[in-house]
Amino acid sequence: MESRLPKPSSIKRPAMQVKSILPTDRIKAGGAGAFNTNQTYCGNLLPPLSRDINNLPQVMERRMGGRAASPEPTKILNRAKLRRSRSACDINEMRLNNKRPAAQPTLPSIPSKVSRFGNATATVPVQRMGRLAGTTTATATASTTASTVTKRPLAARPLPRAATTAAASATATRTKPASGGASGGAASSAAPKRIAPYDFKARFHDLLDKHKVLKTKYEKQVEDMGELESLPTQLEETQTKLIETESSLKNVQTDNDCLNRQVKQQAKNIETITTSLGRAKEELSELQTNHKQIKMEHESLTAEVLQLRQRTEDLLRSNEQQAKDLETCKEQLFQSNMERKELHNLVMDLRGNIRVFCRIRPPLPSELDRNRCTYIYHDEATVELQSMDGQAKNKMGQQIFSFDQVFYPTSTQTDIFEMVSPLIQSALDGYNICIFAYGQTGSGKTYTMDGVPSELGVIPRTVDLLFDSIKGYRNLGWEYEIKATFLEIYNEVLYDLLSNEQKDMEIRMAKNNKNDIYVSNITEETVADPHHLRQLMLMARQNRATASTAGNERSSRSHAVTKLQLIGRHAEKQEVSVGSINLVDLAGSESPKTSIRMTETKSINRSLSELTNVILALLQKQDHIPYRNSKLTHLLMPSLGGNSKTLMFINVSPFQDCFQESVKSLRFAASVHSCKIPKAKRNRYMASSNTVPALNSSSSLGSNSNMSSSFDK
């Protein structure tokens, strides 16, 4: 009988390249842990199943070190066993399978068997199933088969999951028909039927089944090997991914920590903000309350503002009207003030341009034992002087004198100044005023003019009145400037009482005004306040020449002239008013019989005599008035005969031994009182005129003034 099986020589090895074993180095590189699921591979205890059938020759050759090498006894024995276990059919079938493509192995069909089992699946021999009776899993079947082929105890080796599944599937497929029919079930439960050695066909089929199972197992193992080969790469990728994941995890953890810190910080911030928000809410509430109050106040104030605006408009209209009225009133006031000045000075004129006041001083406590003559006061302006000496009384006759005013010994400084102050007012109105005291030594001239600290005289009171009046005039639009000079005439020589320097001082006539004179090189001080002027007066008094006389322990031995210039300006009306006050404390006349310093006495008496002559010449209306015969009359020329209002005090002593001098003084004063001086003219300038002195100019009427004046008619 000729077998239809192909000859073993025709079997070719599968073309598929399969790695028979894992390289040791790769296994080692993968680490033992990488193959924990397949300890047998890692330990290289068992060869892979891929070497079992298809690659068996090559494997054997490799293991044997090639055919040329002499086989080891154990391997030769195994090969002999293998050779014994395999039948010729097996070998032929393997050769046929090797010739066919490995992916689709095909076997020749056996019609007789096929018809008996019905389909290809049923080609699994019942005998084999019977032989495998008692095993319900493909694993057991495969293990049995494997042990049959390789004669190795493979039961302990776990099969790959895919192979197990395939084997189970194949077993299930083969057992289905048997379990479906009674015959099949009987066959499966029957004892395994041994195939007779001569039944090659059965053996062939049995081997074919085994071959299929092994082939399936082989394919699964190849697949598993492919999967296992890719495991290191996957492992590396997984490790790389793991490292990346760990790095990412670290980053994420870092980020998480950072975020946690931020969350904590934000939580704190939220807490702070919440607290602040609470406070802000409270403040907002307070502010809202305040806002309501302020709003109410604002509304109230707005209404008030509206009322005030209306009131302001009314007031503005009223103010405009009042401003017009004020201008009218100012104008009327200015005109009335000018009229008052005119009337005031008219009264002064009616009283006389030169007025004479007689003052009889009281005896001092130290003089109470001195004999006094009798003064009989007929009225306030008439006094009768009687000598206690009967011989002198008969010789001099009745001595009755009339003056503008007679002041009793009991009259005070205040009483005196009440009569003087109207003249000071005239000086502010632009008139030249001259006040001098005449009398024998010790009669009270200095007391009347300067006074004592407890009883101020005419000069300090004049200063106070001037500054008080300037304040009132300022309200009327007038601004005043006061300049002061202090000089004395001693032995017909001029001295500057504000300077200790030796100066060449002369009395000169103003260039454009023959009625005005000035003193060259004299110190002129602009006075800002009464205190300043008092200081200057004190300095002048200290510089004045004094000496002891028979009638006065501290007699003034010179004529002292204090000159105050008053320059008033009305900016609105463009008017300038220039007035002056000459306050003269004459040296006391002295009898040559009692004189100690004859030259001094002669000079004083001569100057006083010249003063008498000038006044008498004015009284007699002589053509020539001898002003220049003495420094005193020359200096007082504008005050005596020109544009001036003059007040002369006649001071007399109450003592009997002064009777003769007192009578002479009183006679002189009485004659002056009767003297007629032309009507004084007010110095009034228009600001637009070139003749107006410059404001704050040092040049003035008392010094070197080139001013030309236009006088009122």
Ligand X SMILES: Nc1ncnc2c1ncn2[C@@H]1O[C@H](COP(=O)(O)OP(=O)(O)OP(=O)(O)O)[C@@H](O)[C@H]1O
In whole angstroms, how close is the CB of 550 to ligand X at the nearest point?
A: 10
Q: Which of 123, 216, 353, 552 binds ligand X (CB under 6 A)?
A: 552
445 in a known ligand binding site: yes
In the bound state with ligand X, the residue whose beta carbon lies nearer, of 103 and 364, is: 364
* Residue 601 within binding range of ligand X, rule CB under 6 A: no
* Residue 51 within binding range of ligand X, rule CB under 6 A: no
Q: Which of 182, 191, 364, 368 binds ligand X (CB under 6 A)?
A: 364
Q: Which of 144, 353, 426, 446 binds ligand X (CB under 6 A)?
A: 446
* 3-state class (DSSP) for residue 167: helix
* Residue 444 within binding range of ligand X, rule CB under 6 A: yes
At residue 393, what are phi and psi to the nearest 5 degrees? -65, -45
* Per-residue tokens: 292: 């309501």
Within residues 649-688, the interface with ligand X by CB under 6 A covers 651
Return the DSSP state at 394: H
Alpha-carbon distance 526 to 481, whole Å? 7
145 in a known ligand binding site: no
Quick one: 602 exposed, middle or buried, by C-beta within 10 A (0-12, 13-18, 19+)? middle
462 in a known ligand binding site: no
Q: Which of 47, 105, 158, 362 binds ligand X (CB under 6 A)?
A: 362
CA atoms within 13 A on the CB side of 638: 26
Within residues 336-355, the interface with ligand X by CB under 6 A covers none
Q: Which of 439, 579, 654, 702 binds ligand X (CB under 6 A)?
A: 439
In the bound state with ligand X, the residue whose beta carbon lies nearer, of 556 and 646, is: 556
At residue 202, what are phi and psi to the nearest 5 degrees? -65, -40
In whole angstroms, how close is the CB of 603 to ligand X at the nearest point?
A: 14
Alpha-carbon distance 48 to 45, whole Å? 9
- Which region among 52-60, 200-208, 492-500, 550-558 touches ligand X (by CB under 6 A)? 550-558
CB neighbours of residue 333 within 10 Å: 15
Q: Which of 54, 345, 353, 443 binds ligand X (CB under 6 A)?
A: 443
In the bound state with ligand X, the residue whose beta carbon lies nearer, of 633 and 651, is: 651
Torsion-angle region of 134 (φ positive above 0: left; ψ -120 to 50: alpha; else: beta)? left
Quick one: 606 exposed, middle or buried, by C-beta within 10 A (0-12, 13-18, 19+)? middle
- Which region among 45-53, 425-433, 439-447, 699-707 touches ligand X (by CB under 6 A)? 439-447
In the bound state with ligand X, the residue whose beta carbon lies nearer, of 334 and 408, is: 408
* Residue 363 within binding range of ligand X, rule CB under 6 A: no
254 in a known ligand binding site: no
The angle subtended at Cα 183 by Cα 177 and Cα 187, nearest 5°, is 85
Return the DSSP state at 589: B
**H helices of 181-199, where?**
182-189
* Residue 442 within binding range of ligand X, rule CB under 6 A: yes
702 in a known ligand binding site: no
In whole angstroms, how close is the CB of 482 to ligand X at the nearest point?
A: 26
In the bound state with ligand X, the residue whose beta carbon lies nearer, of 355 and 361, is: 361
Residues touching ligand X, count (CB under 6 A): 18
b/e sequence 546-560, b meaning 16+ C-beta within 10 Å: eeebebbeebbbbbb
Per the listing, tokens 């309501």 go with 292
CA atoms within 13 A on the CB side of 187: 20
In the bound state with ligand X, the residue whose beta carbon lies nearer, of 191 and 364, is: 364
* Residue 461 within binding range of ligand X, rule CB under 6 A: no
Give the alpha-carbon dihedral of 351, 646, 529, 689, to 10 degrees.
90
430 in a known ligand binding site: no
* Residue 555 within binding range of ligand X, rule CB under 6 A: yes
Q: Which residue is nearest to ligand X (CB)?
A: 588
In the bound state with ligand X, the residue whose beta carbon lies nearer, of 57 and 362, is: 362
Lay out the site mask for ligand X across 399-438 (x = CB under 6 A, - = otherwise): ----------------------------------------
User: Which H/E stretch holds residue 299?
Assistant: helix 200-351
In the bound state with ligand X, the residue whose beta carbon lies nearer, of 184 and 588, is: 588
Helix axes 413-428, 458-475, angle to 10 degrees: 40
Which parts of this chain interact with ligand X (CB under 6 A)? 361-362, 364, 439, 441-447, 549, 552, 555-556, 587-588, 651
Residue numbers in the known binding site for ATP are 439-446
